[in-house]
Structure 1
Amino acid sequence: MEYASQTAFLSVATEVLAGGPVAVLLIEDLVEVDSTIRHHLKLGFRTLILCAPPALVLPGDLAPLVHRIPWVAHGPGAFLDALNPLIAAAPAGTWFYYGFNAEYLFFPFCETRSVRELLAFHTEERRFGMLTYVVDLYAADLEKNPDGVNLAEAMLDRSGYYALGRPDPANHNHPRERQLDFFGGLRWRFDEHIPAARRKIDRIALFRTAPGLELRADHTLSDEERNTYACPWHHNLTAAVVSFRVAKALKRNPGSTYDIPTFRWHNSVPFEWSSRQLLDLGLMEPGQWF
């Protein structure tokens, strides 16, 4: 269904968003929109919200399957204007996922288990947010794919990822408990082209709504417990969002595109589009979910 404005959607949002889990896809440009929608429908999300510019034309088979809200990515923080009103309007306890076009959620065993099974288990463990690593994908050949995007020949980094303790403004002598800042991928290898505040690759892309909960510009939530990577007593599930978003930005930006003839290096490997590969590379973990 298509809505004339965000306000029009919010008037019926409580009813629409009650059918969770909900995936909110933020369409920044027209690259790989169809594949992004189809991927997340296949994962088993019951409700899919598409925040998209007017120029987007959806195939006839997809248009009836999404709730479309007008939205234009007018700056780095535009996603907050789209998401926070939806979070506020959703019934408390609704599972949300959010991502951008040309980004694809993967979780352990996602080829045989649905996102509803994943979130049911995570809820049983009394977890209300899930850490995801945003893993950069990039085209193997930038001469053939000058925008950095090619699903059939996608590459990723097999190493070069690391974590640092997340500072706690209230306690300068100790970092936040069970929170880390993660780095790696294109944001790390080409950090001279990435603002310092946008170099992290961690995102709480899956979370349960609650009264007063808000998403922040650094992709964390206003409830600090939802930003933790594990509970106090054992490791928990994590997931990955494989993403062409940084590759696109680096090749579109005049300040970086001519400095980058290729994204490939000695630690580039073909992406197999499988959860097994991401598990083997340590880019997500199953926790106690076997």
Structure 2
Amino acid sequence: MNHDSLDEFLKAATPALAKAPGALVFAEDGVEIRSTLEHALARGFGTVALLADRSIPVPQDLAPRVHHVPWDIHRDSALTTAVNRVIGAAPGAWLHYCYNAEYLFFPFCETRTIRDLTTFQAEERRDTVLTYVIDLYAGDLDRHPDAVSLTDALLDRLGYYALGRGDPAKGWAPKERQMDFFGGLRWRFEEHVPWTRRRIDRVSLFRAQPGLVLRDDHTFNIEEYNTYACPWHNNITAAVCSFRTAKALRTNPGSRFDIHSFRWSNSVPFRWHSQQLMDLGLMEPGQWF
């Protein structure tokens, strides 16, 4: 389904977004467009949209199920501008956003749908699911020079940590139930990553409401949306398994020739299953069993 503009997409898709969660996929290039869209559809999203340059097409067999929206992802604040437009048009809708070559996993997603998850969260009086961006990377960069391979994907099993998130309005005292999370390739190759882009936490699954605004640092203007749990118990967290950082480190001339392998002693094969992520402590089911 091709659209001429974001406005046209919103007019056509807003009724569907009110009935089932929607996924917004932002394509920075043509890498793994098919697998990203297929993964979102398999998770059960009722509306899946690819926001990309017209030169990046939706695979023909997926076109009847995917909205193709022209969007310049490389302009300043491109992602937040689009997401905030969707928030404004579809209050009450559950939304997920990601880039191409990124894949959302949540506890038990092999047998439960995204609607099951959001229904449970609503019953828990939660409007968000905190997601951690878990870096994936090809084990053999000679065979896969852009570091992207679905069949040879590795991830780090250790090296993740969190720091209290300071509140500048209160003398940088820690904010309640908020933390900055780090790890993966952004930690191991931090000399190539600006410090403002080293966090791996992203509130990429949430329910829209009037006045809600996504900021460029992947946090929201409503502080409760940025918390990892409610005050009374732990909540579900999820993971966005992503080749994006590895791809960028291998594409950027400033880092490409310094990195000959992403492997280290704590690399393990990614099994493409939520149980592995839970076993590694990279997401948790909270009270959902």
Taking structure 1 as the reference length, the TM-score comes to: 0.97
Say whether the 8 Å CA contact 1:13–1:86 is kept in structure 2.
Answer: no
Tell me the CA shift for residue 130 of structure 1.
Answer: 1.0
Tell me the CA shift for residue 10 of structure 1.
Answer: 3.3
Q: How does 1:190-201 map to 2 (within 5 A)?
A: 190-201=189-200
Tell me the CA shift for residue 82 of structure 1.
Answer: 1.9
- Separation in structure 1 between the aligned mates of residue 14 and residue 48 of structure 2, nearest angstrom: 14
- Separation in structure 1 between the aligned mates of residue 40 and residue 150 of structure 2, nearest angstrom: 16
Amino acid aligned to 2:139: A
The match for 2:14 is 14
The match for 1:122 is 121
SS at match of 2:64: helix
Compare 45-54 and 167-176 and name the one that shifted more. 167-176
Say whether the 8 Å CA contact 2:137–2:262 is kept in structure 1.
Answer: yes
Q: How does 1:238-277 map to 2 (within 5 A)?
A: 238-277=237-276
- Separation in structure 2 between the aligned mates of residue 186 and residue 273 of structure 1, nearest angstrom: 19
Question: Runs in 1 of length 4+ with deviation above 6 angstroms?
Answer: none
Residue 260 to residue 76, structure 1, CA distance change in 2 (3 Å): farther
Q: What are the superposed Cα offsets for residues 118-171 of structure 1, whole Å, 9 maximum, x if unpaired?
A: 111111000001110000000001111110100100000000000000011111
Aligned-residue CA RMSD in angstroms?
1.1
- Separation in structure 1 between the aligned mates of residue 3 and residue 240 of structure 2, nearest angstrom: 28
Q: What are the superposed Cα offsets for residues 239-289 of structure 1, whole Å, 9 maximum, x if unpaired?
A: 000000000100000000000000000100000001010000000000000
The match for 1:230 is 229
Q: How does 1:268-287 map to 2 (within 5 A)?
A: 268-287=267-286
- Separation in structure 2 between the aligned mates of residue 42 and residue 173 of structure 1, nearest angstrom: 42
Q: How does 1:209-228 map to 2 (within 5 A)?
A: 209-228=208-227
SS at match of 1:226: helix
Tell me the CA shift for residue 13 of structure 1.
Answer: 4.6
The match for 1:156 is 155
The match for 1:43 is 43
Amino acid aligned to 2:252: N
Q: What are the superposed Cα offsets for residues 29-81 of structure 1, whole Å, 9 maximum, x if unpaired?
A: 10000000001101111111210111122222200101111012224632112
- Separation in structure 1 between the aligned mates of residue 14 and residue 254 of structure 2, nearest angstrom: 44
- Separation in structure 2 between the aligned mates of residue 213 and residue 42 of structure 1, nearest angstrom: 28
- Separation in structure 1 between the aligned mates of residue 138 and residue 100 of structure 2, nearest angstrom: 16
Say whether the 8 Å CA contact 1:108–1:239 is kept in structure 2.
Answer: yes
Say whether the 8 Å CA contact 1:135–1:201 is kept in structure 2.
Answer: yes
Q: What are the superposed Cα offsets for residues 73-132 of structure 1, whole Å, 9 maximum, x if unpaired?
A: 224632112211111111x22100110100000000111111111111111000001110
SS at match of 2:9: helix
Q: Which 5+ residue runs of structure 2 have no aligned equivalent?
A: none
SS at match of 1:83: helix
Q: What are the superposed Cα offsets for residues 190-212 of structure 1, whole Å, 9 maximum, x if unpaired?
A: 00100110000000011000001
